[in-house]
């Protein structure tokens, strides 16, 4: 009797998680902000330059139009149409899932969506380090990246210096574990080795 109940409920939960968890409303919401974030936050021209660096050739300039305008508009239209034409899940016999199941599914979707406006609220109103900057200026700072980004470039002196600094931290045990040099230093100080 219990096995039969679990099998039937399993299909019910699987359908809920499939319909609301990683697809549909939540997916299109996140995709929209990802597209906008890349096109305007990181910058379409920077994406083009990064591709040039990785591939050895840059995509044509007209691709910038797709990244900046076409992709955000299409993903926004898809998200809005999904909201407008929303229908609750149905059983195979055509009956709607109960109201609690639809509410649970929408709550499940909102778990991955609430992070984006939640962080925006935190950045604009609660984050420290803004000083006496106006709300408008904080918004502009948040949607535009700094002019100079610290980008990893193999072989650059800044990258090598940062790598040496990280190795010193690891070797001297400042990150909680330490490497061989940290262990040797502990032995010299008379501290028992960690096991």
Looking at the fold, whether 103 and 20 belong to one and the same domain comes out as yes
**Structural domain containing residue 176:** 157-188
Q: Which of 82, 113, 144 is the last residue of a domain?
A: 113
Q: Which long-range contacts (CB under 8 A, 24 or more apart) does 100-104 make?
A: 101/12, 101/16, 104/16, 104/20
Question: Is 193 among the domain residues?
Answer: no
The answer as to whether 33 is a domain residue is yes
Average pLDDT, the chain: 78
Gap between the Cα atoms of 7 and 13, Å rounded: 10
- Tell whether 176 is covered by a domain: yes
Same domain? 11 vs 69: yes
**Which pLDDT tens digit goes with each residue over 143-186?**
777 777 666 566 555 555 555 655 565 555 554 444 555 556 65
Residues 168 and 94 both lie in one domain: no
pLDDT single digits (tens) 57-87: 999 999 999 999 999 999 999 999 998 998 8
The CA–CA distances, whole Å, from 82 to 12, 85, 171 equal 22, 5, 53
39 inside domain: yes
Give the span between the Cα atoms of 183 and 170, in whole angstroms: 11
Q: Identify whether 140 is part of a domain.
A: no
Residues 108 and 163 reside in one and the same domain: no
Q: Has residue 98 got a pLDDT over 80?
A: yes
Q: Which tens digit of pLDDT belongs to each residue from 10-28?
A: 677 788 888 887 778 889 9
- Considering the domain boundaries, does residue 120 fall inside one? no
pLDDT at position 121 is 92
Total domains in the chain come to 2
Angle between helices 25-36 and 99-113 (to 10 degrees): 20
25 and 108 in a single domain? The answer is yes
DSSP letter assigned to residue 18: I
């Amino acid at each position: 009797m219990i096995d039969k109940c679990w099998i039937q409920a399993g299909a019910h939960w699987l359908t809920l998680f499939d319909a609301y968890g990683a697809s549909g409303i939540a997916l299109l919401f996140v995709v929209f902000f990802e597209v906008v974030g890349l096109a305007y936050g990181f910058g379409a021209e920077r994406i083009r330059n990064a591709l040039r660096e990785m591939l050895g050739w840059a995509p044509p300039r007209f691709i910038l139009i797709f990244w900046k305008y076409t992709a955000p508009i299409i993903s926004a239209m898809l998200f809005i149409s999904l909201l407008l034409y929303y229908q609750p899940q149905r059983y195979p016999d055509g009956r709607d899932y109960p109201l609690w199941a639809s509410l649970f599914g929408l709550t499940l979707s909102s778990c991955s969506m609430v992070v984006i406006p939640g962080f925006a609220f935190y950045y604009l109103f609660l984050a420290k380090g803004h000083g006496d900057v106006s709300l408008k200026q904080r918004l502009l700072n948040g949607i535009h990246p700094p002019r100079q980004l610290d980008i990893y470039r193999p072989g650059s002196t800044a990258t090598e210096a940062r790598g040496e600094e990280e190795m010193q931290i690891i070797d001297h045990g400042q990150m909680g574990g330490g490497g061989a040099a940290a262990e040797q230093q502990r032995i010299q100080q008379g501290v028992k080795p960690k096991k």
